[in-house]
Chain A
Amino acid sequence: MTVDKSLMSGSTTILILKMLEEKDMYGYQIIETLAQRSNDTFNLKAGTLYPILHNLNKQGYVESYEKEEGNGKVRKYYHLTSEGKKLLKEKHQEWITFSSAVNRILNGGVSYESV
């Protein structure tokens, strides 16, 4: 099922941070993993990913480094910093508050948590 892009735009950063919390990844790997984990619901365009990644890098939430792969290809990996971990925690909390509020309204005052 495809999802309206505007629904995804607010949550892209948290999804990217979550991917990097597990392990260091390069851009293409982030998109692929995200698509696999969401059963292709989140098909992030690379043109959306890189400005977000570069901005997070600039703000110190992620760090980048280069690593040579077995085939001689040099890839740019992104690593979540301790500040990035804090940001993820905050965003996660924000998301829980937001989504449960939306759910409460959609379910006529009953949140999914209480169902």
Chain B
Amino acid sequence: MNPYDEIKAYSKTVCEQIRWKKAHKVIAEEIENHICDQRDAYILQGDDEITATKKAILQMGDAVSVGMELDRIHRPKPQWIMISLTALLMLIGALANYFIDKSEYTLFSFAPYIIALTVFLICYFLDFTVLGRYAGYIYLLVLAFSAFQILLGKSVGGRMYYSTGRFTVSLSYLTLIFPLAYALLFYSLRHMNYKGIVLCEIGFVLFAVVLLLIPSFFGFIIFSITAFANFYICALKGWFGFDKKQGLLLALIIPISAVILALVYIIINPGFLTGITFAFNPYNESDGYGYLSCLIRDLLVNSKFVGKGSVPYRFESNIPEIPFAKTDYILTAITYNFGWIAFIVIIAVILAFSVLGIYYVTRQRSVLGTLLSLSIILTLILQASLYIINNLGFGIIPEVSMPLISYGKTALVINSSMIGFMLSVFRTGDIIKDSSISLLKPQSRIFMKMEN
């Protein structure tokens, strides 16, 4: 056996003792590097390569014992608490939808939850680095797919839908994957220095324009904040190759371009500003713009701590119905029908999920793991926050969903898969090394043409 094969054989024996296969590559590399260093030191002391290698391997200690020790340390981290919280949110969603509208419910109505749970589990067990491998392609695919749907979609009640056969996809819900796709673009461009920054900015503007064309202003807000957070973290950690100060200054291009785009949108759509005015003062037009917000506020004022609320005075004996209760106002409906206690329980579960999620994000070491998990947890937190604000009677048009709770198959499946990927990062992210993810780069070909 030649000396290098002996080193390989030693690291192979060590790795054979480690049950978590994902850890093998990283550990083998470190051990082989160490043996080579030790071998080189022995060669400098006058040994020939064969003797030096043998002595270096002997210095390592017994391969089986070392492997067994490392096996005890390197294990994936099952995310039982986060999985339980996810399942709890899904259960709350399924039950809430059932109790709010029993008439339309059949056993088939639970099918989306079963599909969502399956998708969640698949993504949880999937190797999340696959997203990093196809990072550039995923961004371009999402962009092309959304642009295609805008061209072919139809606007219903101010929202864009795309229908094909029995399937209808809500474009405002579909855009929930924009922050994730953008994080992947970030990941794939991180070594390109200034060119990378310029391309990231182009990537941001393209997604932002799609969001404003749908229109999904809340989606635009979620996307802009998440994109800025990604940029900020990259700058802070020096992942773009700039020093911290320079990177943080460059990160400001995201909020600046977001504000410019928002202003252009407001100038083109002056009605949007009127909507915002009524969001704060809905009683100024309680039969028009402010009708829904007034109704929600009246219902919440008349909600009890436990049990069904009383009928607001202005409705006399007619029990009011909340329009779009399952999709847009499920929290209001739950609070009015079951009391504030139900609202508090849901908020507590969301809060626990968010705090734990943020904690795990801060523990990530790889660039891919950090960017993916950060973009997903922020998308979920911002979605929930905007939905809660709307459901407390401060809304305009709630184009976002309450993750896993409000009705909407597109949102349910997208949110479940994103949570699955996030938990996959938390489960295995510890051992992931960015350098070991071989990137397939569509951007290197596409963007190189642009540069030329």
Name A's B-contacting residues (CB within 8 A): 26-28, 32, 45-48, 50-51, 54-55, 58, 60, 63-64, 66, 73-76
Q: Which residues of B contact A47 (CB under 8 A)?
A: 60-63, 65-66, 69
Q: Which residues of B contact A46 (CB under 8 A)?
A: 31, 34-35, 38, 59-61
Interface residues on B, range: 20 to 34
Q: Which residues of A contact B30 (CB under 8 A)?
A: 27, 50, 76
Least distance between A32 CB and chain B CB atoms (Å): 8
**Of B27, B35, B61, B363, which is within 8 A of A45 by CB?**
B61
Q: CB-nearest residue of chain B relative to A63?
A: B365
In the complex, besides A45-B59, A47-B66, A75-B33, 19 extra interface pairs with C-beta distance below 8 angstroms are A28-B33, A28-B37, A28-B38, A32-B41, A45-B60, A46-B35, A46-B38, A46-B61, A47-B61, A47-B62, A50-B30, A50-B66, A51-B66, A54-B70, A55-B73, A74-B33, A74-B435, A76-B29, A76-B30
Consensus secondary structure, chain B interface? helix
Assembly CA distance A75 to B34 (angstroms): 9
A-B contacts, 23 listed (Cβ < 8 Å): A27-B34, A45-B59, A45-B60, A46-B31, A46-B34, A46-B38, A46-B61, A47-B61, A47-B62, A47-B65, A47-B66, A50-B27, A50-B31, A50-B34, A50-B70, A51-B72, A51-B73, A55-B73, A66-B433, A66-B435, A74-B33, A76-B29, A76-B30
Least distance between A69 CB and chain B CB atoms (Å): 10
B74 within 8 A of A: yes
> In chain B, residues 344-374, which have Cβ atoms closer than 8 Å to a Cβ of chain A?
363, 365
Q: Which residues of B contact A63 (CB under 8 A)?
A: 365
B49 within 8 A of A: no
Assembly CA distance A50 to B420 (angstroms): 32
Supposing A46-B59, A50-B70, A58-B430 touch, asked if A76 and B33 sit within 8 A by C-beta, the answer is yes
Q: Mark B422-448, 1 if CB is under 8 A from A, else 0.
A: 000000001001010000000000000
Assembly CA distance A46 to B70 (angstroms): 12
Q: Which residues of B contact A66 (CB under 8 A)?
A: 433, 435
Q: Which residues of A contact B363 (CB under 8 A)?
A: 60
Supposing A50-B70, A55-B73 touch, asked if A28 and B61 sit within 8 A by C-beta, the answer is no
Assembly CA distance A58 to B69 (angstroms): 13
Q: Which residues of A contact B72 (CB under 8 A)?
A: 51
Q: Which residues of A contact B430 (CB under 8 A)?
A: 58
Q: CB-nearest residue of chain A relative to B363?
A: A60
Q: CB-nearest residue of chain A relative to B433?
A: A66
Q: Which residues of A contact B37 (CB under 8 A)?
A: 28
Assembly CA distance A32 to B34 (angstroms): 11
Residue from A27, A54, A66, A76 with most neighbouring chain B CB atoms (10 Å): A54
Q: CB-nearest residue of chain A relative to B72?
A: A51
Q: Which residues of B contact A64 (CB under 8 A)?
A: 365
Q: CB-nearest residue of chain A relative to B26?
A: A76
Among all A-B residue pairs, the 5 with the closest Cβ atoms: A47-B61, A51-B69, A47-B66, A28-B37, A45-B61
Q: Which residues of A contact B74 (CB under 8 A)?
A: 54
Q: Which residues of B contact A26 (CB under 8 A)?
A: 33
Assembly CA distance A48 to B60 (angstroms): 8
Q: CB-nearest residue of chain B relative to A66?
A: B435
Q: CB-nearest residue of chain B relative to A68?
A: B435
Q: Which residues of A contact B34 (CB under 8 A)?
A: 27-28, 46, 50
Q: Which residues of A contact B73 (CB under 8 A)?
A: 51, 54-55, 58
